[in-house]
Amino acid sequence: MRVVKTSVGVMIVAAAAVGVVSFVFPEVWHGGKIAADASQPAQAPAGGGGMPPAMPVPVDVVARTTVPVYLDYVGTTEAVRQVTLQAKVGGYIQSRGAEDGADVKEGDTLYKIDPADYQVALDQARAKQQGDVAMLGYAKASQKRNAELSAQGVVAKDTNDEKTGLLGQAQGTLAEDAAQIRQAQLNLGYTDIKAPFDGRLGKSQVHEGALITPQQTELNTLVQLSPIYATFNPTEADLALIEKYRAVGDLTVDLFIGHEDKPRYSGKLTFLDNSVDRTTGTITARATIDNPLKELLPGQFVKVRLHLTDQPDALLVPQVALNSSQLGQFVYVIGEKGTAEQRFIETGETIGDRIVINKGLNAGDKVITGNLQKLGPGAPVQALPQTASAS
């Protein structure tokens, strides 16, 4: 409620000759009417009636529309996958396949270790295999001859058994050679350190010529940027609402960066933790966000807007129309008699520059949105041209 304070100016006129003091009272507002000093002659308003002329005011027609119901949080971005690159074999760094901070594809060579030692090891394994193949052939032939002679009684059975054992050893040695060759091939392949997935490199910790220790030296980090996670922490009270609407279907999530008022990224809620943190009363939630331009990086603070559902037939008014008093919030509407009427209201969610009115207004009411400091209940007003509220 607006309270209009009026003051009475007092002019003291001293009559020089007789010492007479007189008081002159100006006109005062009471209940939207002008009360004049009874000692002064009455003067009619310029309009010819008892009311001042109607004040032109901008208005907004209240209309029913569907508005989103959402919850806002502050969250952080996290990489879906992040690894520290290390070598499985040691040696000197021969070359780098990508610059610091480069976007790479799965399978791209990032570092190459000098392969000479590992190529030699592979060649040695293959050479040994060739010798063992020859020994296997001899063992087969020897065992065959001894088997025939043993059957004729020319050679002792024990000698035949010995040749059969040597044949088995030769076969085992050849199998071991195959394994050694495979191991040498793997080690040679490990000299090419490749990207395990699409992502972006960080700052390299080693350079050409550096000697690295296998499974110890950290070469670089690789993070996946698209998609990316947005992690936030709903309260226990919000958890029931989230579970309720999540059971109906997927919940969409919008991300705002800095002080932006429009979302730049969107995704879906994909994870709710299985327990509530007793120290904070919150639960960890995570949304998966498309990041095709790779502008979002892990560790950024973002505003997370979780869309739960849509509220139909909501009443919206501009926030600039709201006033407040000791009795609560209110707005002025144009009444049937063309005067300002005070309506106390209950507000809901804020949607941009508008706010949902849960109680106190009806569709079609003309809410006054300007010249509010000059208004009071019952003041005559005239609506300026306006359009209906947009959804």
**Tokens of residue 284, six digits:** 């960890």
Hey, is 244 helix, strand or coil?
A: helix
Hey, is 48 helix, strand or coil?
A: coil
Residue 237 backbone class (left: φ over 0; alpha: ψ -120 to 50; beta: rest) = alpha
**Dihedral sign from CA coordinates of 35, 327, 71, 299:** positive
Query: What's the Cα-to-Cα distance from 43 to each of 7, 35, 38, 58, 236, rounded to whole Å?
Result: 20, 11, 11, 31, 68
Q: Taking the CB of residue 157, how many other CB atoms lie within 10 A of it?
A: 11
| Residue 4 CB contacts under 8 Å (≥ 6 apart), including other chains | 29, 376
Cα 89 to Cα 222: distance, rounded to the nearest angstrom = 19
Q: Taking the CB of residue 275, how many other CB atoms lie within 10 A of it?
A: 7
Tell me the sheet residues that pair with 234.
Answer: none
State which H helix or E strand residue 222 sits in: strand 218-223
* pLDDT score of 50: 60
Q: Taking the CB of residue 363, how many other CB atoms lie within 10 A of it?
A: 13
* pLDDT score of 49: 52
* pLDDT score of 51: 65
- Name the residue among 71, 67, 76, 64 with its Cα closest to residue 244: 71
What string of pLDDT tens digits covers the 391 residues of the chain? 333 333 333 333 333 333 333 333 333 333 444 444 434 444 444 444 566 788 899 999 998 999 888 899 999 999 999 999 999 999 999 999 999 999 999 999 999 999 999 999 999 999 999 998 988 888 888 878 777 777 777 777 777 777 788 888 888 998 999 999 999 999 999 999 999 999 999 999 999 999 999 999 999 999 999 999 999 999 998 999 999 999 999 999 999 998 888 899 999 999 999 999 999 999 999 999 999 999 999 999 999 999 999 989 999 999 999 999 899 999 999 998 899 999 999 998 887 788 999 999 999 999 999 988 888 899 998 888 765 444 4
**Domains defined along the chain, listed by start:** 1-50 (no CATH), 55-66+312-383 (2.40.420.20), 115-190 (1.10.287)
Cα 217 to Cα 87: distance, rounded to the nearest angstrom = 7
For the whole model, what pTM was predicted?
0.66
